[in-house]
Structure 1
Amino acid sequence: MATLVDPFQISFVFRALLAGGLTAVLCACIGTWVVLRGLAFFGDAMSHGMLPGVAVASVLGVNLMLGAAVSAVVMSFGVVVVSGASRLSRDVSIGLQFIVMLSLGVVIVSHSGSFAVDLTAFLFGDVLGVTSGDVLVIAVAAAIGVGVCLVMHRPFTALTFDPRTAHTLGMRPRFAHAAMLVLVALATVASFQVVGTLLVFGLLIGPPATAVLLVRGIGRVMAVAAVIGVVQVYVGLLVSWYAETAAGATVTLLGGLTFLVVLAARSAVCKVHPRISNDNRCQ
């Protein structure tokens, strides 16, 4: 028991656990919609598309989260505008935004030697360096994200499974789509400074994708994803503490391995038991 508890008696490790756990809850709610709607590429693009805003904020000496928020908002609405104004698919629109924002960020970074060193922390995070203020920011973001997911549950569900019906019922699918993109931006912006964009994307996709393999029902998927994410953060921090590995990368790797193990186990069970293979969970 001491092995499982002792590291978290240290203040900065305990703060890392709180920050990671809150991020896991936030990303579980938002990530469920990302997985169900096939917006994983947008989540990845968003996590890296914040680079120009962060770089400019660093050069100007202002809050990095403010710069990230501006970039996230620009990219979110850029995707909506480009998709609506052209016949290009959503993936093409996201790809174009991703290329422009990431390239612009690299150009800015190349002319700012002082920020180049911080680029590693931006991508991979420094979860063991979070402060009490960082934990508070993530807690507020988690409360807002979960609240919006609850309020927008019906419009999001209709948009995910039948956009035409959503329009017929007056649920404003375009507004719901924009709101969903803003939620993805909220998750990445609120979390990148303390856990890095790599960990944010891992928590945004990994636990919800694993939960989809295990349960049915959007609410259940969110709940199971939150549990998986919190456990993933705890075990990842524990492994990184004793193995002396990068905490954020360890947590993210654990999430990917968990998905693969669950997928393999489900496939094996479905093949061995004919009755279960006819269940829709094996489809």
Structure 2
Amino acid sequence: MDPFAHGFVQRAALGGALVAVLCGVVGTWVVVRGMAFLGEALAHGMLPGVALATVLGAPVLVGGALGAAVMSVGITALQRRGRLSYDTSIGLLFVAMLALGVIVVSHSGSFATDATTILFGDVLAIDETDLVLLAVATAVGIAAATAFHRPLVALAIDPRIAAVLDLGPRSARAVLVALVTLAVVASYQAVGSLLVVGLLLAPAVAAGPWTDRIPTRMVLAAVIGVASVVVGLLVSWHAATAAGASIAATAIAAAALSHAAHAALPTRRRASTPVPERSPCTTD
């Protein structure tokens, strides 16, 4: 545990923990709704905004947020007006935004350094300002998920049920996309745009076999995510590996171990006492 005696490692652990809590809440809905491709697309969709912010010297989180917002609005517009399927719309904008981001970065004078930071993050460079922003993002995400819990549950079951119950399926869908965008942008500093989906999905997948309740799954996913951050930082320090990649790999390993452990458990049989059948020849 010697690495945690250093201030920059402590800030990395705290920032990563905040990201893990937010991803645990949002990632649960992503897994339940089957929106993993959307999370991947938004992670790459913020690349042009991050690249422009890096070139112009602006805050990268602001640029990433703008890029992800443009991506989400573009997906909605193509789906509604272009009459394209959801995955087709995502696929087109996915490649377009990724290509635009690479073009912007390659045009700058420091391509290698900027590209490495953008793609894989730099969790060890988190400072006090980043911690404040991450704390605000996590609080906003938890508050929004709590306020829209019922509409999101109805949307996950069936959008028609949500409409019949007047729970606003369109509003719930917009909130869900906004939550995914928030989680992706907040996770950028920790694991970068390529690995953000691992931290968004893996803890929620790891929590899945152990509970059927969404709130419990969110809490368990957050705990697994925080543990993945701590273990990933320790592995990175002692093995001299990339911190963001170590965190993402640890989260994926936790998901694999969780499912393996659950599969190894003996099958639970219902404890019930059989009712003896009465013989037709028996008389009282």
Output the TM-score relative to the length of structure 2.
Answer: 0.90
- Tell whether 2:45 aligns with 1:61: no
Letter matched to residue 134 of structure 2 = I
2:281 is matched with which residue? none
SS of 1:113's equivalent in the other structure is coil
Partner of residue 161, structure 1: 157
Give ranges in structure 2 of 5+ residues lacking alignment. 271-284
- Is contact 1:29-1:222 (8 Å) kept? yes
Whose Rg is larger? 2
Q: Shift of residue 199 of structure 1?
A: 4.4
Amino acid at match of 1:256: I
Residue 261 of structure 1 and its aligned partner are, at CA, apart by: 1.7
21, 35, 38: which is aligned to 2:31? Answer: 35
Correspondence 1:131-150 to 2 at 5 A? 131-150=127-146
Letter in 2 for 1:30: V
Residue 78 (structure 1) aligns with: 74
Could you tell me how far 1:67 is from its partner in structure 2?
1.4
Matches within 5 A, 1:86-235: 86-235=82-231
Structure 1 residue 85, shift from structure 2 partner = 2.4
1:170-210 Cα shifts (integer Å, max 9, x gaps): 22211211111111111121231344224432211000111
Q: Which amino acid aligns with 1:8?
A: F
Structure 1 residues 18 and 88: CA distance shift in structure 2, 3 A: same
Partner of 1:275: 269
Cα deviation, residue 30, structure 1 = 0.7
Greater fraction helix? 1
Residues 190 and 244 of structure 2 are in contact (CA less than 8 Å); yes or no, is this contact kept in structure 1? no
TM-score, normalised via structure 1 length: 0.91
**Segment of structure 1 superposing worse, 100-109 or 58-67:** 58-67
Q: Among all aligned residue pairs of Structure 1 and Structure 2, give the percentage whose two residues are the same amino acid.
A: 51
| Deviations 1:140-165, CA, capped at 9 Å, x for gaps | 10000000000010111111111001
Pair 1:242-2:230 in alignment: no
Across the two proteins, how many residue pairs are aligned to each other? 270
Displacement of 1:169: 1.6
Equivalent position of 1:11 in the other structure: 7
Measured after TM superposition, the shift of residue 113 of structure 1 is: 2.5
Task: Name 1:279's counterpart in structure 2.
Answer: none
Residues in 2 aligned to 1:126 and 1:63: alpha-carbon distance in whole angstroms? 14
User: Contact 1:76–1:178 (CA<8 Å) still a contact in 2?
Assistant: no
How much is the aligned-residue C-alpha RMSD, in angstroms?
A: 1.6
1:121 is displaced (CA, Å) by 1.0
The answer as to whether partners of 1:198 and 1:248 remain within 8 angstroms in 2 is no
